[in-house]
Every structure is written in structure tokens, then in C-alpha cells.
Structure 1
Amino acid sequence: MALGFVCVGLGMLGAVLPLLPATPFLLIALWAFSRSSPRFHHWLYTHPHFGPRLQEWKQYGTVPVKVKASAISAMGVSFALMAFVMRVKWPVLAVSGSLMLIGAAYILSRPSRPPG
């Protein structure tokens, strides 16, 4: 249940901060609540602001364009910070970049809105 509340908090921050995506944290919170608290699972799943996006994900696997842009922008900024500010070693940069590319490919492969 603690993981659910932490992820709800991060998701709420992500709803107002442009580089922090809300949806992944809310999906983790929904999963955590499904295992720990049916009451909080129902609350999050039917929440007026977050519920519709979570319901679309469950039914259709959609990722809205705004969320895609935010997630990919955050990955790009993170990669640039690692490469040019933190100056991490190239093996770490290569692995991180590869994982980010896999994540970006998955996000871009999801539909942006429900069918019909």
C-alpha cells in the first residue's frame, strides 16, 4: 500500500510538472492498490481526473500524444544531462541510451486514442 501512495504522489506531481510523466506512476499505484487495497484501487480507477486515462490504458492500451511527448522529452533531457553535465562513462551511457530507446519505441508503438 505504501508503494501505491508514493506512486500516487509522484503521479500528482507529474500532472503539474512537465518533465515528470504521471501515467507510469499511476499505473504502478493502480497495480499496488489492486494487491493491497480494493478501496484505494477503486478510488484511483474512478478518480475524476486520473481515472479516464487509466481506464483507457486498461481497455485499449492507449498513450495520449501529450504523454508520449512528455515521456520522450524527459528521456532526451535525462540522456543529455548524463552525457554533457554528469559526463558518465560511455558504457553506462550506451546502456542507458539503449534502454531509453526501447522505452521510447514501446511508447510510440501504443495507439494515441481509443478506436472509433
Structure 2
Amino acid sequence: MKTLLAILGAVSLALGIAGIFLPLLPTTPFLLLSAALWVRSSPRLYAWLLAHPRMGPYIRDFREHRAIPLRAKLLSLTLLWLTLGFCALFVVAPCRWAQTGLLLLAGGITWHILSYRTAKKR
């Protein structure tokens, strides 16, 4: 069982890293899932994740304060709107319902991201 949890944690980490570059794929939830899976299966991997200079602060801030850093919010929202805006204007342009769906999706994700507090610099 521990091996399965460790593998699922690695898959979750890979999805979280992909989420840095893909606006519809969330980063923080997958990093949190990796941490939750690894705390049960591999203390070494869990410690590595929390100590990681790039990913560790996101996990610690979110777990301790339920907050997202301002830079992460701005980057996420900018990439989200650029990507979905491009798709709405150029990829699905003849299809109004698809455009509406993409813009509603972007609005919902924006609301979700902004609903979390902004992490203060420490």
C-alpha cells in the first residue's frame, strides 16, 4: 500500500508541476495531494517536498494559512486569461456556446483563486 501511495504522490507531483505551465491544471492542490500521500507512505519524500525551495513554500503557506502568494495569483490569472481568451477568440470563434463556456470557466477559476487570502511575504 505504501508503494502505491508513493507512486500516486509522484503522479500528483508531476500533474502539479505541469499545472505551473498549463492554466487549467491547478498546481497547489496537486502539490498538497502529493504531500498528503507521501506523509503516509514515505517520510523521506515528504520531507524533500516540504524542503524544496520552489514547491515547499506553496505547500507550507497553504497548509498553515490557506493563502496563495500574490505572484502565484497574478501569474495564474494572467496565463489563464491569455490562454482561454486566445482559445475563445481564435480556436472556437464560430461557436458561441463554446466561447461562453470558456469565458465562464475562466471567470469561475478566477473567483476560486481570488477567494483565497494572499500570502504575506515572510
Q: Map residues 42-53 of structure 1 onto 2, 5 A cutoff.
A: 42-53=47-58
Percentage of identical aligned residues: 27
Normalised TM-score (structure 1): 0.70
Q: Relative to structure 1, is the Cα distance of residues 102 and 12 closer, same or farther in structure 2, using a 3 angstrom cutoff?
A: closer
Q: Which is further off, 31-40 or 79-88?
A: 31-40
Question: Is the 8 Å Cα contact of residues 21 and 70 (structure 1) preserved in structure 2?
Answer: no
Q: Relative to structure 1, is the Cα distance of residues 53 and 78 closer, same or farther in structure 2, using a 3 angstrom cutoff?
A: same
Cα shift at 1:65:
1.0
| Other structure's SS at 1:112 match | strand
How many residues are paired up? 115
Which of structures 1 and 2 has the bigger CA Rg? 2
Q: Runs of 5+ in structure 2 lacking a partner?
A: 1-5
Structure 1 residue ranges (4+ consecutive) displaced by more than 6 angstroms after TM superposition: none
Q: Select which of 70, 75, 78 maps to 2:75.
A: 70
Normalised TM-score (structure 2): 0.67
Note the aligned Cα RMSD (angstroms): 3.2
Q: Select which of 52, 62, 86 maps to 1:57.
A: 62
Find the aligned partners of 2:98 and 2:57 in 1 and give their Cα distance: 37
Q: Runs of 5+ in structure 1 lacking a partner?
A: none
Q: Relative to structure 1, is the Cα distance of residues 35 and 87 closer, same or farther in structure 2, using a 3 angstrom cutoff?
A: farther
Cα shift at 1:62:
0.9
Higher strand share: 2
Cα shift at 1:35:
5.5
Cα shift at 1:74:
1.5
Find the aligned partners of 2:78 and 2:46 in 1 and give their Cα distance: 29
Find the aligned partners of 1:45 and 1:94 in 2 and give their Cα distance: 39
Q: Relative to structure 1, is the Cα distance of residues 84 and 74 closer, same or farther in structure 2, using a 3 angstrom cutoff?
A: same
Quote the residue 1:91 is aligned against.
Answer: 97
Q: Is 2:110 the partner of 1:104?
A: yes
Q: Deviations over 1:65-95 (max 9, x none)?
A: 1111111112111222211221252223322
